[in-house]
Structures are given as C-alpha cells and as structure tokens.
Amino acid sequence: MEVEGGNTSANDAVARKIPIQSRRAKVFYQFTQQNLPACKPVLTPSWIVTTFLLMGVIFIPIGLVTLRTSHSVIEIVERYDTECIPEKFRGNKVSYIKDSTILKNCSLYLKVPKHMKAPIYIYYQLDNYYQNHRRYVKSRNDQQLLHGLKSNDTSSCQPEDSSNGLPIVPCGLIAWSLFNDTFKFIRESSELVVNRKNIAWKSDRNHKFGKQVYPFNFQNGTFIGGGSLDPSVPLSDQEDLIVWMRTAALPSFRKMYGRIEEDLDADDVIAVHLMNNYNTYSFGGKKKLVLSTSSWLGGKNDFLGVAYVFVGSSSIIISLVFMLLHVKNPRPYGETAYLSWNR
C-alpha cells in the first residue's frame, strides 16, 4: 500500500499560483482539485498471499476451538410424538389428540450418555410449525399484554380477540395456541426438581407483560387451541406464555421448558412422565424433548466450527495455489501485454 500525498509534480505549478494561507485553505484546495492525500491499495501478489494466509491462520484455530466447545455440550434429544400415541389410536392420531376425554399421559426413558453438569436445560422442540407465519406473528396485541383490558383495540387479534361477547386476555393466535405438554422427570424414583422460573427474557417479563394483567376469558370459546392459563397469576409471571410468545424464526424451533439444577451422571436413566396434549398431528409436526447442557457458545452445533475450519483451510489452499501460479509464471517487470489495442 502506498500513500500518495496528492500528486505533486503536475499540480505544483498551479498550487504555487494560489497563495496557501493556512492548512485549511490547503485542504480545501486539495479537496476541490480532487487531490486529497489518499491511501491507494494495490492488490499485489504478496498482499494477496499474505491476506489469504493470515485469514487461514486466524480462522482455523477459531474453528477448532469452536468445534471443541460444541462437542463438549451433551445433548439428549427424544422424539415422542408417535411413541406417546397408544397403538390402537395410531391410525387416527388427530382424533385421539382432539378427544379431550382421554387422559394422554405417557412415559419416556432417557439414558444419560455422559456426565451432564448442571444447569441442564430442558427444551421442547417442534418441527414444521410456522410460528413465523405472517398471520400468526401479527396476531397479538402488545398494548393489551402490558395494560390488560384498558387497551381495547384488539383488531389485530382476530379471530381470537373476543369470545361470547367478551374480550380475551391475552388475545391473538399466539397465546391461543400455547404449547401445553407437561413433563415430569424422575431419577431412581425421586423426582428431579425442574426450575421453571427465569426461563423467559428479562426485558419481556419486566416491560412487555403487565404485572397487573390477569388472564381473562381465555380459552373459553368453542374451539380450544392450546393450553389454558391460571387466571390468578399475572401475565408477567406466566413464563411459559412469555417464552411461547417470542415467536421463533424458523419452522423448526426449541423453546425452553425449565432447568434441572443438579448434575446427571453417565448411564443414569431418567423416566419422563409427560402429558401429550398438544396437537401437532394435524399438520404433521414432530415433537421432541431435549435435555442439554450449555457452553459459552450455547448449545450443540458443529456448523460454526466446521465453517470456520472450511473457510480457513480454503483460504490457505487459495494462497498456496496462487503462490504456485505466481512463481511458475512470473510477471515480467514492466510487462505491457495488456496495454494494446486489440483486446
């Protein structure tokens, strides 16, 4: 790189004519004559090779560290949507799940592959569920969530804005379709304590959901969507709802259910008693239960590490190929081959 302080020789003559009184005048002169000091980088082979090498040298270690971190995370994923339908109903899962008279309890057994350090996060994962659908995302009323019945313009919540002539709090499709499977974890006949507090973003609890707003007329319609809410608990404490109402970005997503705040040892068997209430069968969605520890990067995902290593190593390869080509076929000093008419 070279920094050229304006092009000197050609403009000196003109520059001399104009008495340069101050630095400011000089800068102004350079500006109007488009002659400001500037850095003019040229992609010389040495620059190119160095840049690529440097990128490789930085990226590969980052990638390796990231990969290692991701591998240090222990994750148990168990799909339960089909298992939890009794054999005789497997032919018509939708009518089973819609039949409110059947108690839909179900048990799963999870084997801990490796020692899991607390806290262990419990997630439920839904696939093929479009929480990011435009109609769905818009179907809520933030004012009502914060101020309750005082805010009465709930047109965005239609058709779940009112039932039986009374407004619904919280209104809208998101709240109405609240996830309502529940899980109980038992290890060696003693129940594991699941901490279900502080699973939602703090800003949501404090600033988006009212402390004085209580559920009202919720799930009272003819068509009941998802779970119901305890009308005596204010919205700001209904963390399941708050978590659910942060709409997911992609059709396959996890939501936090709670935390287990004790270590799990390798080969522990955990029995999960769950209530399989939520209907994902009509649209073919999967339901999964996830137990996962977390690292400084979060959960288990190799993509970042692999991508870093890939980008890093490909830039090293590019730099080597480039260097090879350059050495094999050096550019003669003062080559002018490209400066002619017939191109």
> Which positions from 43 through 62 interact with other proteins, judged by CB under 8 A?
43-45, 48, 51, 55, 59, 62
The least distance separating other proteins from the CB of residue 152, rounded to whole angstroms, comes to 16
Ranges within 296-325 binding other proteins (CB under 8 A): 296-301, 303-304, 307-308, 311, 314-315, 318, 322, 325
Q: Which stretch binds other proteins (CB under 8 A): 100-108, 171-179, 188-196, 263-271?
A: 171-179
Residue 337 and residue 343: Cα distance in Å, rounded? 10
Instruction: Pick the closer one to other proteins by CB: 86 or 159.
Output: 159
In angstroms, how far is the first alpha carbon of the chain from the final one? Answer: 29
Query: Which DSSP letter does residue 90 get?
Result: G
- What is the DSSP track for 8-57? HHHHHHHHHHS---SHHHHHHHHHHTT---EEE----HHHHHHHHHHHHH
Identify the residue among 251, 263, 273, 313 touching other proteins (CB under 8 A): 251
Interface residues for other proteins in 252-291 (CB under 8 A)? 252-256, 259, 279, 282-283
Of residues 122 through 151, those in contact with other proteins by CB under 8 A are 123, 125, 129-137, 142-143, 146
Which amino acid, residue 21? Q
What residues between 184 and 243 interact with other proteins by CB under 8 A? 201-203, 207-208, 225-226
Cβ-contact 156, 139 below 8 angstroms:
yes
**Measured from the CB atom, is 119 or 234 closer to other proteins?**
119
Q: Does 341 bind other proteins (CB under 8 A)?
A: yes
**Least CB distance from residue 81 to other proteins, whole Å?**
15
By C-beta, is 189 or 336 nearer to other proteins? Answer: 336
| Beta strands, E only, 160-252 | 162-163, 166-167, 182-187, 190-191, 194-195
Q: Which of 24, 91, 101, 339 binds other proteins (CB under 8 A)?
A: 339
Assigned token pair, 216: 């009202």
| Of 43 and 87, CB closest to other proteins | 43
Please name the residues in contact with 89: beta carbons below 8 A apart, sequence gap of 6 or more: 95, 96
- DSSP E strands, the chain: 2-4, 38-40, 75-79, 105-111, 120-126, 162-163, 166-167, 182-187, 190-191, 194-195, 253-260, 269-275, 287-292
Of positions 20, 33, 187, 286, contacts other proteins by CB under 8 A: 33
Only one residue has tokens 């090293």, namely 316
